[in-house]
């Protein structure tokens, strides 16, 4: 088995890079967490869009009763949208039974990658063990294919640069996968090993440490302190968002 990681979404995506791989896409603050929250609260589906215009167009084609438009630029709700990117806005009352369209600065850019993967999963701390269970079940149920199994982590980062919270979330998942399959042989790329190493280094004071980093500080400054607390909670929502091919 191979484990690989991309710590930002800005890399050349060669045709077969993710073919048949299990790909976990991470934007802890806040797109992955918000999408997971929306699905937990009964959203029918969530459609990620890499541009605001495209999101508005998709929204315009859906019927009024079942549509919900969310997203952010610079962390704030775009004019005319139903919600920003705070998981607290995606309550059961707001999203149950609805098609949620969401466009965020970095996260939704990641979620449209890896189109020929076997599975594209949205991962965060809030659904960490649900995502791992899904991956373990998938690997264990295709045992014969074990040597060809590939699990990749795509982190959203911030504007083309690494973000610590995404790297540590990927590192936590990589660490569990690595330890579980070690005895069967695991090849781990340098970037996946960096994420794993950093996770182990920070695991005893992770939350406190992450609070001192760039994106949490930015969100604190613009009034979303509560969001950070939620986004750094382990296993709050046992759901596994899967990204389906475009309709």
- Contacts with ligand MLT by CB under 6 A lie at 27, 29-31, 72, 75, 85, 104-107, 156, 219
Smallest separation (angstroms) from ligand MLT to the CB of 95: 17
Q: In whole angstroms, how close is the CB of 106 to ligand MLT at the nearest point? A: 3
Residue number, 86 or 149, with CB nearest to ligand MLT: 86
Name the minimum Å distance from CB 29 to ligand MLT. 5
Q: Which residues pair with 170 in a beta bridge?
A: none
- Considering the complex, what minimum distance in angstroms separates the CB of residue 36 from ligand MLT? 12
CB of 182 to ligand MLT, least distance (A): 33
Q: Provide the minimum distance between the beta carbon of 34 and ligand MLT in the complex, in angstroms, as a whole number.
A: 7
Neighbour order of strands in the sheet with 67-71:
45-48, 99-103, 67-71
Q: Distance (Å, rounded) from C-alpha 155 to C-alpha 9?
A: 6
Measured from the CB atom, the residue of 99 and 156 that comes closer to ligand MLT is 156
H-only helix segments in the chain: 31-40, 52-60, 92-95, 107-111, 128-141, 164-181, 190-202, 206-210, 214-221, 225-231
Find out whether 239 and 107 touch, Cβ atoms under 8 Å.
Answer: no
25: which residues sit within 8 A by CB, 6+ positions away? 32, 110, 111, 113, 114, 120, 121, 122, 123, 154, 156, 243
The least distance separating ligand MLT from the CB of residue 84, rounded to whole angstroms, comes to 7
Q: How far apart are the first and last CA of the chain?
A: 31
Identify which of residues 98 and 109 has a Cβ nearer to ligand MLT in the complex. 109
Q: What is the C-alpha separation between 235 and 238, in angstroms, rounded?
A: 6
Residue number with CB closer to ligand MLT (25 or 240): 25
Select 180 or 213, whichever has its Cβ closest to ligand MLT. Answer: 213
Q: Which residues are CB-contacts of 104 (< 8 A; sequence separation ≥ 6)?
A: 27, 30, 31, 71, 72, 85
Which CB atom, from 33 or from 149, has the smaller least distance to ligand MLT? 33
In terms of Cα–Cα distance, which of 6, 101, 109 is closest to 60? 101
Residue number of the CB closest to ligand MLT reads 104
Question: For ligand MLT, which is the closer residue by CB, 8 or 175?
Answer: 8
**Rounded to an integer, what distance in angstroms lies between the CA atom of residue 69 and that of residue 83?**
6
């Amino acid at each position: 088995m191979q484990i690989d990681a991309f710590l930002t979404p800005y890399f050349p995506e060669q045709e077969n890079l993710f073919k048949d791989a299990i790909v976990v896409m991470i934007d802890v603050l806040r797109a992955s967490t918000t999408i997971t929250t929306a699905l937990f609260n009964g959203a029918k589906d969530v459609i990620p869009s890499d541009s605001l215009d495209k999101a508005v167009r998709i929204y315009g084609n859906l019927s009024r009763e079942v549509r919900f438009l969310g997203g952010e630029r610079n962390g704030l709700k775009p004019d005319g949208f139903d919600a920003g990117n705070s998981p607290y806005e995606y309550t059961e009352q707001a999203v149950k039974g609805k098609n949620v369209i969401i466009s965020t600065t970095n996260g939704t850019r990641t979620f449209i990658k890896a189109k020929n993967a076997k599975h594209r999963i949205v991962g965060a701390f809030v659904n960490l063990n649900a995502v791992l269970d899904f991956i373990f079940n998938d690997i264990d149920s295709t045992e014969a294919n074990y040597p060809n199994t590939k699990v990749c982590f795509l982190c959203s980062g911030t504007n083309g640069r690494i973000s610590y919270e995404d790297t540590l979330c990927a590192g936590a998942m990589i660490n569990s996968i690595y330890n579980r399959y070690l005895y069967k042989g695991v090849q781990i790329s340098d970037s996946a090993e960096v994420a794993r190493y950093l996770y182990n280094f920070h695991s005893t004071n992770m939350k406190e440490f992450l609070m001192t980093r760039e994106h949490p500080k930015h969100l604190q400054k613009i009034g979303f302190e509560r969001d950070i607390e939620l986004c750094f909670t382990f296993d709050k929502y046992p759901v596994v968002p899967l990204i389906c091919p475009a309709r």
